[in-house]
Structure 1
Amino acid sequence: MSQQTLTTGDRAAIRSPWRDFLHAFVRNPLALASGGFVLLLLLVALFAPWLAPWDPMAPDWTALSAPPSGAHWMGTDDLGRDVLSRVIYGARISLYVGVVSVTLGMLVGIVLGLLAGYYGRWVDMLIMRGCDVLFAFPGMLLAIAVVAILGPGLNNVIIAVAVFSVPVFARIVRASTLSLKQAAWVDAVRCAGAPDRVILLRHILPGTLPNVIIYFTMRIGTSILTAAGLSFIGLGPEPDVPEWGNILAMSRSMMMAGLWHVSVFPGLAIFMTVLAFNLLGDALRDTLDPKLKS
């Protein structure tokens, strides 16, 4: 009986990091709310062809610049296109741009940060001075410069947003690498004859991931906002593409005529999406950062 009780107590005492993370995450109302909204947004983007009530490119000639109604819940634009359908399809494009661009910037930044933090000396100086050059430009201005060089288009917007994401990821990973490479287990593995590739990928990289995940989540919102800004000034995809920044750009002339619905709904979509990703990043930081755990 006592052995069974001891075994049960041992099992209760031994908790995996994944269970600890889930336990702390579900106890945070802000994390649940932001995570639920992000999940809903992902589902909307994934099932956009089935959720959109109208073709986002097809005009309704009987309802030009129509206000919200039973047929068009968010109204129509000056060409008779359903705003709700365009916002739903815009979620797919905006999330694609945000996730892909931040992923590319993260991968490049992780490689540069690991090399700079582990090898130091001239490698560190060369990489960090390059990051300082990128940091000298505001993010939006750097993205505009990259798109101006490459030309407008969805793929070029992704490259531009990825470029200004690289230096921050590199700095985050470099700082973690400088701390982790002095750890006792890393010295033990190095003394055992493990090559640098194994030390970096198997023993240092996992220790940098919590900070990378936190910033990755926050950066998606910033990237979506930057991509919408590029589209708004005409440096994004083609004007007919149902992207949130494009919809806002097309609605500028309609706002002067009092047609508020064409700009308000995509603006709210951008606002809520950026806010949700930022709040989710804050919740992940509170959950993953050991310094903030009570």
Structure 2
Amino acid sequence: MNLSSDPAVSSAASGAIRSPWHDFIHTFLANPVALVSGGFILLLVLVAVFAPWLAPWDPMTPDWMALSAPLSTAHWMGTDDLGRDVMSRIIYGARISLYIGVLSVTLGMLAGVALGLLAGYYGRWVDMLIMRGSDVLFAFPGMLLAIAVVAILGPGLNNVIIAVAVFSVPVFARIVRASTLALKQTAYVEAVRCAGAPDRIVLLRHILPGTLSNVIVYFTMRIGTSILTAAGLSFIGLGPEPDVPEWGNILAMSRNMMMAGLWHVSVFPGLAIFVTVLAFNLLGDALRDALDPKLET
């Protein structure tokens, strides 16, 4: 009997060479929501990188002949009350908003992952101290905590990044702590510890990789939340300087124009924030489906 012609043997042989990376790519590419959201985010990144070449006008230079101008061939999204091109300011705003979102979440992730590993691995007073500190931060709504941090440090781009990073730390710490508590009880981690490996090796080589799937999913979703929070801080005057072309600043500058019927100055930056946050949330859901083997059908 030719075993190579047996469907069961062929299926087993083909399954033996499949890797987790192959399964992730296959599941991710089979999800149309993942492709659409990922494609939009990739396009947004390209727009941010090539903003100086894509923007039709200088975002800081006013057109004195087109103050508060509606949509036209010269200004596709109109101008604000100072004659600055709205489309150019939104394009440059993508660069600033992505910078705030990615950098703030990265800082919060690094601090949260480190604290979560220590709390879950060592337990006892270390766990109690870190988790009670997280509970204190959880007691504040995220936006209120960010406002408090900016009120202490003062408005500005760097302080907004710090404020958004602070309220990201406790969630990352909770996620990593839960994964660490489960992973440190596994047989392979117990074997490594019994072999005399130092705690640093156990944490970084054997526990940390097992927490990355949850961290990646939440990291992606948190970028959208951070962009929205930064825009909210800018809208109430606690963000970067008012002339900086950031999406929240553009919305704040358009408040008076909305009452005059000039809808375009507020609608387009609002849509940019809405679609970007939605894309990051959908991409996070798609990554969760692709990275979690328990959800595989």
> What is the TM-score with the length of structure 2 in the denominator?
0.96
Matches within 5 A, 1:156-175: 156-175=159-178
Question: What is the CA distance between 1:14 and its match in structure 2?
Answer: 1.1
Q: Do residues 183 (structure 1) and 186 (structure 2) align?
A: yes
Partner of 1:37: 40
**What is the rounded CA distance, in whole Å, between the counterparts of 2:249 and 2:231 in structure 1?**
7
**1:226 and 2:229 matched:** yes
1:193 aligns with 2:196: yes
Alignment of 1:134 with 2:134, yes or no, is no
* DSSP 3-state at the match of 1:73: coil
Q: Which letter does structure 2 place at the counterpart of 1:138?
A: P
Query: Which amino acid counterpart does residue 277 of structure 1 have in structure 2?
Result: F
Shift of 1:8: 11
For 1:4 and 1:103, the matched residues in 2 are separated by 50
Match of 2:63 in 1: 60
Counterpart CA distance in 2 for 1:180 and 1:8 is 31
Measure, in 1, the Cα distance between the counterparts of 2:105 and 2:207. Answer: 21
The correspondence for 1:275, drawn from 263, 273, 278, is: 278
Task: Measure how far apart 1:12 and its partner are.
Answer: 5.8
Instruction: Measure how far apart 1:10 and its partner are.
Output: 3.4
Q: Matched residues in 1 for 2:272 and 2:205: separation? A: 40
Matched, 1:125 2:128: yes
Residue 103, structure 1, aligned to residue 106, structure 2: yes
Encode CA deviations 1:103-143: one digit per residue, 9 max, x unaligned: 00000000000000000000000000000000000000000
Q: Could you tell me which residue of structure 2 aligns to residue 203 of structure 1?
A: 206
- Deviation digits for residues 117-174 of structure 1 (CA, Å, limit 9, x no counterpart): 0000000000000000000000000000000000000000000000000000000000
Residue in 2 that maps onto 1:48: 51
Which AA in structure 1 matches 2:270? Answer: G
**1:290 Cα deviation after fit:** 1.8
Gaps of 5+ in 2: none
After TM superposition, the structure 1 = structure 2 runs for residues 249-264 of structure 1, keeping only pairs within 5 Å, are 249-264=252-267
**In the alignment, what sits opposite 2:249?**
246
Residue 195 of structure 1, CA deviation: 0.1
The residue type equivalent to 2:196 in the other structure is G
Q: Deviations over 1:78-123 (max 9, x none)?
A: 0000000000000000000000000000000000000000000000
How far apart in 2 are the matches of 1:178 and 1:184?
13
Structure 2 CA distance for aligned equivalents of residues 225 and 23 of structure 1: 31
Q: Which structure 1 residue ranges, 5 or more long, are not aligned?
A: none
* Alpha-carbon distance, 1:33 to partner: 0.6
Alignment match, 2:84 = 81
1:289 aligns with 2:292: yes
| TM-superposed deviation, 1:181 | 0.1
- The residue type equivalent to 1:113 in the other structure is G
Moved over 4 A (4+): 2-9
Take 2:83 and 2:245, find their aligned partners in 1: how far apart are those partners? 14
Aligned to 1:15: 18
Q: Deviations over 1:44-77 (max 9, x none)?
A: 0011011000000000111110011111000000
CA distance in 2, matches of 1:54, 1:150: 34
* Separation in structure 1 between the aligned mates of residue 71 and residue 21 of structure 2, nearest angstrom: 45
Q: Within 1, Cα distance between the matches of 2:15 and 2:256?
A: 63
Q: Distance in 2 between matches of 1:3 and 1:94?
A: 58
- Measured after TM superposition, the shift of residue 19 of structure 1 is 1.2
User: SS of the residue aligned with 1:241?
Assistant: coil
1:13 positional shift: 3.5
% identical equivalent positions: 84
